[in-house]
Structure 1
Amino acid sequence: MNTLTATCSLALDDADDDNGCLQVVPGSHLEAELRPHRPVFKPSTNGERDGGHTLAAQLEADDKVVSLPVKRGSISVHNERILHGSPGNGSDRWRRTYIVAFRPKAIVDYERGVGFTHSHNDKVQWQTLLEGGPMHTSRREFLKHATALAGVACTSSAWAGAANDRLNLAFVGCGGMGSGHLGWALQQPDLRVVALCDVDANHLKGAAAKAPDAFTSGDFREVVGRDDVDAVFIATPDHWHALVGIAAAKAGKHVYCEKPLTNSIGEGRALVNAVKDAGVVLQTGSHERSNPGAAVAKRLVAEGNLGEVKTVRIHLPNADPHLQEVENFTSPPPDRDPPAGLDYDFWLGHTPVMPYNEKRCHFFWRFHRAYGGGEITDRGAHVIDLAHMILGLDDTGPVRVNAVGTPPKGDFYDAFITFRFDNEYANGLRMIGDNSGPRGLTLEGTEGKLFVAVHGCALSAEPASLLEGVSLPGIDPYATHRRSLLDAIRSGSGEVSAPVGAGHHTAVACHLNNLSMLTEKPFAWDPVAEQSDSDEVNAMLTPKMRAPWVL
């Protein structure tokens, strides 16, 4: 019998723990047999639905019951085999839902044959049914196939906060990507912006105009330490990611941190340890992972459609006007006093004191190694991250690194724009990168090739038949990626699409190639010990920090 089912519920009212929102036991739909269910009350004799309509199933000691609060107009979809139910409406508010349930005809016929119609199951002869009477072949067969009876009375929630509470967010870094994150958060009814931070008063003023009730400060420590902050969005220049992230984790805050996770390997390891020690959740801002094309590519590889993938090519073209400006920059503007409102010494942070220059600060900081890693950690972090995700390399890195690069002209910018690298992984994979286009990655297997574009993760394949029947829905990957963190916080699962370890290993791969270019040498790398066979490389893993900043 085909037992595939789905229930779609349209919320006509807000539903939360107070008025009895849906609760589920995640993963229970994967159990080999449906757990026994019994009516909580005796079946009614007057045709009312209260009697046998309420069912209960035994919860196991390791079951986690999760509440699923919804706002009016939201739609939820669940497999009927999952243990689900409601603790009842203890409030004076409505909790109305319009339900459309999909069931194969065989399931519908079976349910009606035993008197079960989902909305009125009072006619079910429960004693006969549960004891394996003549209405079905066996109790085991009934419990296996009667998926429509998978309701359960649940009484606990995995999220300690009230289901209708909004999560309180703080934003550190309000220009560039930070402005985009903030704008999105302000449109979400389940979020509240409570704090803003930026060392540039102009950025801070612009953000405060959008969130006038939020606390504002130029010092991130005053923000991450607030009791009313649940999660911190970090969108600073790369050299600040580690220190802000570690402070947030130690303060018990969940974190969304832009990529690359950190600006050095040592800082990354310190942030990973801080997150794990604090038991908080960190989502790396590698939002390309949240494009449908990334998931399709991962599935095609996992199912063997490409055969054995022996090579992945990373394409990072450098023809963009801003990259060519950096590549050929020989006449920088003169140094000058920082603009009014910019706390430039705080902006420099742990890095050496340098005179202010407009081409050293906002946006162009990423091409100075003290603050960023150049194109390989800018968009290269997206492309290499996709390769790690698709090929199952989130927990490891290369074991052999060989990269060559050409420094930009002049002596102002020092991050590489033109380069080529060839990395070997323990499983025999070669990751080869250069400035060929278009931007993205090519997975080369024994049975075919797959190109994944960045940005957007559009797919093309050789042969084209590899993508036959594949359709990629249009979504907002930024929104989906942000939601991954928020859902992990609310559910208590801690599961995000770009966890701290994955973000760290992607950043490590980027930094290793920069180190090979800087030392002009190939070297071996131990991805577990995070040490090289080169003393020169090991000495460059963590930057020396200017007082008072320390990891």
Structure 2
Amino acid sequence: MSHRLDRRDFLQTTAAISASAWLLQDELVTAAERKSPNEKLNIGLIGAGGKGEANRDGVASENIVALCDVDDNRAANSFRKYPKAARYRDFRQMLEKEKLDAVVVSTPDHTHAIAAISAMKLGLHVYCEKPLTWSVEEARLMTKVAREQKVATQMGNQGTAESGLRQAVEVIQAGTIGEVTEVHVWTNRPIWPQGMMERPKQMMSPPSSLSWDLFLGGAKETPYHSSYLPFSWRGWWDYGTGALGDMACHTANMAYMALKLGAPKSVEVVYSSGLSPVSPPKSSVLKYTFPARGEGYPAVTLFWYDGGKLPPADLVKGLNLPSSGSLLVGKKGMLYSPNDYGAQYKLLPEADFKEVKLPPQTIARSPGHYREWIEACKGGKPAMSNFDYAGPFTEFVLLGNVALRVGKTINWDAESLKAAGCPEADEFIRREYRKGWALPV
């Protein structure tokens, strides 16, 4: 059965959550006290192949003592690089048997929550790939458990550590382009198949290197087919979250942070093509509306575009738009980022901002995305994209998928974790877990 979050579990208003980008240092005490800054962490990798290789290299300064992957071939490079590390296919066995300080979760989206929450419940620090979770409720629970366990956490939206993103946040919050009321975010994804109308009908046997049952995890029982793996799982609702889940945690990050957006009031499907019950759309345009959030932060409309869709031509006239980027429209001008991460930006029209001075630095610059998390694990300042920030951010992102799947505008009640007057959205806000895979909360 699906775990359903009770209203009493609501942590605080989402506006208050996103107003604080990271927790106070003295809140992270339990697991962080295990290691001094000069000691190395014992880290287990949950998902050692694919994206897990990049994350593995990001934490290579520490002791990588255990490797877990459901596909031996996919993880072969990690097995060769760390021949002394213990090997597992089932992360639950790894967590039970190994003496770890932290884990890195680089599995497909549908496994993030159960792997990360299982680890946090054991007092382990967690680095988890984006999107933080497969469902909105899972994101809320990840935030809750991380706070309860007082562990160091980090979501894998690497752009958060970029100095350019942090400077852009300072520029916006200083009022350089005036009050922002409109945001446009676009991506070249999907770059994998999406918009399939039905599941494959052909029966196939999984390769011997793969444990298909462990790949499924909490997802419903489904026969193996090669169209699901190794990377194309992103285009199937049971395992991935489509173009939106893959890229919005990167491309919308700077705007979400700078504008302290919190939870949207509503999400509207402006356009979608190829959407089906089993697969995200080939392309879509979504409209999120956010209420005012205090002085200097008026109501905002945020538009999301994927599958080749772009902002209105009259708005971006004269710009040679890249395949991914973002544009924030303020009363005094615009801030344009031609970058997935928001790591570079320019102020428009350029003639109006030739003499502009940068505001005082208010956000510390990062020692590096992975280094931030490692230092937090050892008792340092929390990483900027810790789950207190990343959880509400992921909720906002995934609500777009909820609107797509119900096929109409949803009015969001963040406190009750419900789409008001839309009970059919519940199954997309939460998920039913396969027997034996319920969340340990």
Give the TM-score normalised by the residue count of structure 1.
0.64
Structure 1 pair 163/286, CA: closer, same or farther in 2 (3 Å)?
A: closer
Amino acid at match of 1:402: E
Secondary structure of the corresponding residue to residue 228 of structure 2: coil
Give the one of 394, 419, 422 matched to 1:532: 419
Quote how far apart the aligned CAs of 1:353 are.
1.6
**Post-superposition CA distance 1:285-309 (Å, at most 9, x none):** 1111111221111011111100111
Q: Aligned pair 1:363/2:231, yes or no?
A: yes
Query: How far apart in 1 are the matches of 2:232 and 2:81?
Result: 26
Give the one of 263, 267, 271 matched to 1:401: 267
Q: Give the equivalent residue in structure 2 for 1:167.
A: 41
Unaligned runs of 5+ in 2: 1-24, 27-31, 293-298, 311-320, 359-364
Quote how far apart the aligned CAs of 1:522 are.
0.9
Secondary structure of the corresponding residue to residue 306 of structure 1: coil
1:93-132 alignment, distance < 5 Å? none
Structure 1 pair 225/483, CA: closer, same or farther in 2 (3 Å)?
A: farther
Backbone CA RMSD of aligned residues: 2.7
Q: Tell me if the contact between 2:199 and 2:278 (Cα under 8 Å) persists in the aligned partners.
A: no
Q: Aligned pair 1:419/2:284, yes or no?
A: yes
Secondary structure of the corresponding residue to residue 280 of structure 2: coil
Q: Aligned pair 1:237/2:108, yes or no?
A: yes
Secondary structure of the corresponding residue to residue 147 of structure 2: helix
1:292-307 alignment, distance < 5 Å? 292-307=163-178
1:220-259 alignment, distance < 5 Å? 220-226=91-97, 228-259=99-130
Q: Give the equivalent residue in structure 1 for 2:328.
A: 443
Query: How far apart in 1 are the matches of 2:273 and 2:397?
Result: 16
Q: Aligned pair 1:182/2:47, yes or no?
A: no
1:486-525 alignment, distance < 5 Å? 486-493=374-381, 495-525=382-412
Moved over 6 A (4+): 328-333
Structure 1 pair 348/478, CA: closer, same or farther in 2 (3 Å)?
A: farther
Q: Give the equivalent residue in structure 2 for 1:377.
A: 245
What is the total number of aligned residue pairs between the two structures?
380
**Post-superposition CA distance 1:205-239 (Å, at most 9, x none):** 43121011211111101223355311100000000
Structure 1 pair 247/522, CA: closer, same or farther in 2 (3 Å)?
A: same
Q: Tell me if the contact between 2:104 and 2:126 (Cα under 8 Å) persists in the aligned partners.
A: yes
Q: Give the equivalent residue in structure 1 for 2:80.
A: 209
Q: Tell me if the contact between 1:400 and 1:424 (Cα under 8 Å) persists in the aligned partners.
A: yes
Amino acid at match of 1:295: R
Q: Aligned pair 1:458/2:344, yes or no?
A: yes
Quote how far apart the aligned CAs of 1:408 are.
2.8
Q: Tell me if the contact between 1:374 and 1:417 (Cα under 8 Å) persists in the aligned partners.
A: no
From the CA coordinates, give the structure whose radius of gyration is larger.
1
Query: How far apart in 1 are the matches of 2:98 and 2:188?
Result: 45
Quote how far apart the aligned CAs of 1:162 are.
4.4
Give the TM-score normalised by the residue count of structure 2.
0.80
Unaligned runs of 5+ in 1: 1-62, 65-157, 471-476
Q: Share of identical aligned residues, percent? A: 27
Structure 1 pair 271/542, CA: closer, same or farther in 2 (3 Å)?
A: same
Quote how far apart the aligned CAs of 1:429 are.
0.9
Query: How far apart in 2 are the matches of 1:180 and 1:235?
Result: 10
**Post-superposition CA distance 1:156-209 (Å, at most 9, x none):** xx95534432111110001111011113333x2xx1111110011223443121
Secondary structure of the corresponding residue to residue 327 of structure 2: strand
